[in-house]
Amino acid sequence: MDTSLKDALKKAKRKQLLKIIIISMVVVLILLTTLYKTGNYFAAKSAERLHEKLFLHNEIAEANIHIDSQVTSNRSMFGGNIVTNRSKNINGYLVQWSTLTSSYDWLRTHIDNNELMPGVYWSDTQVYEYDKQTKRKVATFYHPSIQKYYDGIQNELGEISQMKNHVAEVAISFDQPYTFQEIKPKIPDDLNIVWLYMTSPIADESKGPAGMPVYGFDPSDSPKEAYESFIEALEKYDANGNNETIQEFLKSNKNKPFDEVEILGVMLTGQAENFKALENKDFIRGASVGATAQMVPYIKPDK
C-alpha cells in the first residue's frame, strides 16, 4: 500500500478517535449535569418535606417547646441533615432544650426520634423522665382514661410552690375533660397557660413509660384561631390517615366550635410560689413539674 495512503488512513482514524472522545466527554458532562440537577431537585424536595414535618410536629406534639432555628447541614445531591435548635420559655426565662439532627435522602425523611423521646431515670426512691441532652426533667401528662401509671399519679404542686426565686413549668392533668371556658377561670391570673393537652394514645403505663406522644397546642392570645391552626396541622401531619389517635380526635372534634371542644390538661408557667394557689384543687388529677430556672435581677418574669 502506498505510504501516503497509509498516512491518510492513520490520520482519519485519529480524527475519528478524537471525535469519539470529544463526543463521549460531552455526553458524560451532560449526564453528570443532569444527574446533579436531578439529585439536587429530589434532595431539595425531601428537605422541604422534612422541614415541614418538623415544624408540624413541633406545632402539635411538643409542649412548650419552641424552635429557635432550623437549618440544613451536610447538604449534597444525595441528601443531608436538618438541625433543629429548640428552647423552652419559662415565664420569660429561656432554657435550652435538646437539639434534633434529622436526615433525608431522595426518597426518605427521618426525624430524630431518639432525641424526641425522653430518657427515664430509675432509682430505688424515684422515677422520672428527662431530656437526654439538657438532663432537665420532662413534665408528664396523665390521660384521664388510664387508671394505673408505673409511679402513680404525681402531684408536685406542694414541692414546687416551696421553691423561692424560681420560675417553673408544670403539666396539669384534669380529673375529667373540660372545655377551655370551664377551666380558664380556675387558673390564677399570675400563671401563664402556654399549652393545651388535647389527646394522646391510651396505652399500658403500669410497667413504665410507654413513650406515647401527647398532642396539643399553644393557645396564644387567640385560642379559637390557634385551635383552627391545630386542626389544620393535624390533617397535614397525618395526611395518610395512619395515626389512629389523630384520626379519632379529628372525627370527634373537627367540626365542633372551639367552645365545645374538651381538653385534658394544660401546661402552665410562672413563678414557683404562685403555684401554691392550685394546691388541693379538685379538678386537678396530677401535676408534674418540668423545666425550672433560677431567677436573676436582670431578667424580669412575664408574670
At 78-89, the pLDDT tens digits run 889 999 999 999
Query: What is the pLDDT averaged over residues 57-64?
Result: 96
Helices (H) and strands (E) in the chain, counts: 6, 11
Task: Name the E strands within 131-271.
Answer: 166-179, 192-199, 215-217, 262-271
Q: Please, which pLDDT band fits residue 15 given cuts at 50, 70 and 90?
A: confident
Q: If you search the block for the grid coordinates 490520520, which residue do you land on?
A: 11
Cell digits for 175? 380529673
Give the model's pLDDT for residue 4: 66
> What is the model's pTM?
0.87
Cell digits for 148? 394505673
DSSP alpha helices (H): ranges in the chain?
A: 3-61, 113-116, 157-161, 180-183, 223-237, 244-253
Lowest mean pLDDT among 36-50, 63-77, 118-132, 162-176: 36-50
- Taking 60 as the threshold, does the pLDDT of residue 148 lie above it? yes
Closest CA to 278 of 140, 165, 144, 186: 186
The number of beta carbons lying within 10 Å of the beta carbon of residue 247 is 14
The type of residue at 152 is G
Query: What is the pLDDT averaged over residues 169-186?
Result: 96
Closest CA to 174 of 144, 213, 139, 219: 144
Q: Please, which pLDDT band fits residue 210 given cuts at 50, 70 and 90?
A: confident
154 vs 36, which has greater pLDDT? 154
Contact 279, 161 (CB under 8 A): yes
Contact 53, 109 (CB under 8 A): yes
Q: Give the whole-angstrom CA distance, residue 3 versus residue 38.
A: 52
Query: What is the pLDDT averaged over residues 124-146?
Result: 93
What average pLDDT is seen over the chain? 90
Contact 227, 261 (CB under 8 A): yes
φ, ψ of residue 112 to 5 degrees: the values are -75, 75
Give the model's pLDDT for residue 77: 75
Q: Please, which pLDDT band fits residue 97 given cuts at 50, 70 and 90?
A: very high
Q: Show the CA angle centred on residue 169, arms to residues 166 and 175, nearest 5°.
A: 130
Closest CA to 53 of 119, 121, 103: 103
Contact partners, residue 205, CB within 8 Å, separation at least 6: 146, 148, 149, 150, 212
**C-alpha R_g of the chain:** 28
Q: Show the CA angle centred on residue 262, arms to residues 257 and 267, nearest 5°.
A: 115
Q: Give the whole-angstrom CA distance, residue 78 versus residue 23.
A: 27
Q: pLDDT over 70 for what percent of the chain?
A: 92
Using CA atoms, how far residue 72 sits from 43, 44, 81, 101, in Å, is 11, 10, 6, 10
Query: What is the pLDDT averaged over residues 132-136?
Result: 96
- Taking 70 as the threshold, does the pLDDT of residue 9 lie above it? no
Lowest mean pLDDT among 36-40, 44-48, 132-136, 258-262: 36-40
127 vs 63, which has greater pLDDT? 63
- Taking 60 as the threshold, does the pLDDT of residue 1 lie above it? no
Query: What is the pLDDT averaged over residues 182-191?
Result: 96
Cell digits for 73? 447541614
- Taking 80 as the threshold, does the pLDDT of residue 24 lie above it? no
- Taking 90 as the threshold, does the pLDDT of residue 96 lie above it? yes
Dump pLDDT digits (tens) for 258-275: 999 999 999 999 999 999
Q: Please, which pLDDT band fits residue 116 given cuts at 50, 70 and 90?
A: very high
Q: Please, which pLDDT band fits residue 3 given cuts at 50, 70 and 90?
A: low
Contact 265, 133 (CB under 8 A): no
